[in-house]
Structure 1
Amino acid sequence: MVRRRGTYQIAIRDKQLICLFCQHNEFQHREVYMERVTLDEDEKEQLTLQSFTCTSCGDIRMFQEKNRFDQTSQKHVSIIEYIEVIKE
């Protein structure tokens, strides 16, 4: 498990992630590794999910990291954007 230190505001596909329960927009991050097994159990797939925990109410949201093609930079970029919140 990998954890980004700090508090983040998260944008997924250029939309701000907001907690469904308390409408807060700051999250802690960690990476979760899961193994998906099909019904015949011969096929296994390793999934890496990005887990975001609301710093206000503790609700957890999980997203699979994917890439999209950015026309401006002509590169594949992540659909998830992390903006660190610095508290003074």
Structure 2
Amino acid sequence: MYLEIVSPERVLLSAEVNSVTVPGIDGEFQMLNNHAPIVSVLDKGVIKVEGNLEIPKELKDVVTKAQDGKWYFPIKGGVLEMKNNKAIVLAD
């Protein structure tokens, strides 16, 4: 699936990914390829992304890669829309 993570300052990610886990206001949930359409408000936490990503050097201060191979993007909240195998996160 295609994932875009956008903050007010910059685009954090725009890439094909295997999965994304987000901090929904009612709890964390994961989306995989061909997930049903959804719109959700996001809570403070981290977006966990699994995939073979190339993170630009200017984002290394924001994004971390854990030993489990997942990329972690901290957010203060936001909104997510998943539709047609594309997820867009507007993050604070």
Name the TM tier (shorter chain): 0.3 to 0.5
Give the TM-score of the pair, scaled to structure 2.
Answer: 0.32
Name which one, 1 or 2, has greater alpha-carbon Rg.
1
Give TM-score, length-normalised by structure 1: 0.33
Query: Greater relative contact order: 1 or 2 (C-alpha under 8 angstroms, separation 6 or more)?
Result: 2
